[in-house]
Structure 1
Amino acid sequence: MTDTDDLVEVTSHDELRELLGAPLQRVAEKARTSLHDYDRQWLAASPFCLMSTAGGDGTCDVSPKGDPAGFTLVLDDTTIVIPDRLGNRRADGFHNVIDNPHVGLVYLIPGRGDTLRINGRARLVRDAPFFPRLAVKGRVPVLAMVVEVEEIFYHCSKAFLRSDLWRPESWQPEVVPSRACIAKALESPDQSLEELERYYGPAYAERLYG
C-alpha cells in the first residue's frame, strides 16, 4: 500500500479558498433556477449527458446517458425527463435516487467545449402521459427519471481544451485493450475472446434498443 503519511491535506473551506482564490462575481452568481431558451436549445441538440448521484450511505456513481439528440424531454421551465434504456440492469444511479433524490447532470454537444450543468431533485416514474414522447425506434422506456431543476448554468471549455477531447488527431482508441479483452480479463473469464469479440462487434449497436 502506498504511504500517504506525508500528504498535506486541505481540510477547511477557508483553506481551500485561500489556495484557489474567490470566483468572479459573475461566476459566483451565474446559477439560475429555471430554463432559458438557450438551455432548451442545448438540450434539444445534446445526445449525451453524465448523471451523478449519491446513495444514502454516501456511495457515489456517475452514469453516462445517451440517445439521439434531444433525448431529454423538457416538460416546463423547471422540469426535465431522462428516459432509461436497455443496459446492464445494475441501475446504480437509480438505486441511489431512491435513497437520495439529489442529482447532477452535465450535458455535452460533440465538438463544443462548454457544457450545460443541471442540478436538481429526481423522481423515478414507471408510467406517465409523456412516455410515448420518449420512444426511440418504436421502443417506449419502462422507466424514466423526472428532474426538478434547482440550479442550472454553463461551464467553460477549459477542461476540453486542456484534454484535446474533440481533436480527432489526438484520439488513440487502440492505446488500451479492446472492450472484448477487458471483459475477458475482468468480467467474463469463462467465455472465449472470440465469443466476446463477436458480442461487442458490429451487431452490438444493432441491439441497443432491443
Structure 2
Amino acid sequence: MAYDDLPVIDTVAALEEYGVPQPAVRDKVRDHLHDLDRQWISHSPFVVLATSSPDGRCDASPKGDSPGFVKVLDDRTVVVPERAGNKRFDGYHNVLTNPHVGLLFLIPGRGDTLRVNGRARLVSDGPFFDDLVVKGHRPVMALLLEVEEVFYHCAKAFMRSQLWEPESWDPTVMPRHAVIAKELVRQDSPLAELDKYYDVERYKAGLYPTS
C-alpha cells in the first residue's frame, strides 16, 4: 500500500510523547454507577453499543428509544432492550464470543457524554422484562451489562462538530436512502419501489411490533 512507509506510533512511550492526562482525568474512572449516572441514563434516548470479535472485527451499533429506555437494575448492572430491527445482530454476534462492550450515552443538546464499559450477555427473559415493554412491544431479548468502568467524556467533539446546532444541519448533502440502496445493494429494484420500502411512515409503523 502507498501508506506502508508512514511513521507509526506503536508504543506507549511514543504515544505519551504527545502528552499524558492530568490526574483528575486519569483517575475519573469508577467501577459502579453513581446517582448522577442513573439520572443521565434515565434521560438518554440514544446509546451506541461498541463491541468486537475475538479476531478484532469491531462494530458500533446505535440503540434508541424514549429517554430512559436503558434500565438501571442496580449500581453495577444495566439492561438494553432489543427493539425490532434488521436482524443482522452484528454487535450481538460479537458479544457471544467476546463479552467486553462499551456504551456511549447521549442526551440531545448536551456535549458531554456518559461512557459505561463492562461485560455483557444476551438474555431472553427476566423479571425486569415487563419494565422494558413500550407501546405493547415486549423485547424478545436484551443485553445485560455488568458495569466495570464508568466515566464522563468532555464536550469538545460535539463543540467542534456543532452537532446540536440546527444551523449546521443539512440532510440534503446526501441523496435519500432509496437512491443509496439502489446504487450499492439493490441495483435490480425500481427506485419507486425502494422509495416505498424506505418510506419514513412505513418504518414508523413497524417500530413496535406486538407479535
TM range (shorter): over 0.9
**Alpha-carbon deviation of 1:209?**
1.4
For 2:13, the equivalent position in structure 1 comes to: 14
Count of residues in correspondence between the two structures: 208
Q: Which runs of no fewer than 5 residues in structure 2 stay unpaired?
A: none
For 1:122, the equivalent position in structure 2 comes to: 120
RMSD: 0.9
For 1:91, the equivalent position in structure 2 comes to: 89
For 1:61, the equivalent position in structure 2 comes to: 59
For 1:139, the equivalent position in structure 2 comes to: 137
For 2:171, the equivalent position in structure 1 comes to: 173
**Alpha-carbon deviation of 1:203?**
2.1
Question: TM-score by structure 2 length?
Answer: 0.96
Residue 207 of structure 2 aligns with an amino acid whose one-letter code is L
Question: TM-score by structure 1 length?
Answer: 0.96
1:84 and 1:188 map into 2 onto residues whose CA distance is 27
For 1:148, the equivalent position in structure 2 comes to: 146
Q: Which runs of no fewer than 5 residues in structure 1 stay unpaired?
A: none
* Alpha carbons 2:118, 2:145 under 8 Å: kept: yes
Whether 2:208 is the aligned partner of 1:184: answer no
**Alpha-carbon deviation of 1:188?**
1.7
1:203 and 1:140 map into 2 onto residues whose CA distance is 20
**Alpha-carbon deviation of 1:129?**
1.2
2:149 and 2:115 map into 1 onto residues whose CA distance is 8
Query: Structure 1 residues 74 and 59, CA, compared in 2 at 3 Å: closer, same or farther?
Result: same
Render the CA deviation track for 1:58-113: whole Å, top value 9, x for unaligned: 11110000011100011001000000011111101001001000001100000000
Residue 8 of structure 2 aligns with an amino acid whose one-letter code is E
For 1:74, the equivalent position in structure 2 comes to: 72
Whether 2:202 is the aligned partner of 1:203: answer yes
For 1:108, the equivalent position in structure 2 comes to: 106
Bigger shift: residues 184-193 or 171-180 = 184-193
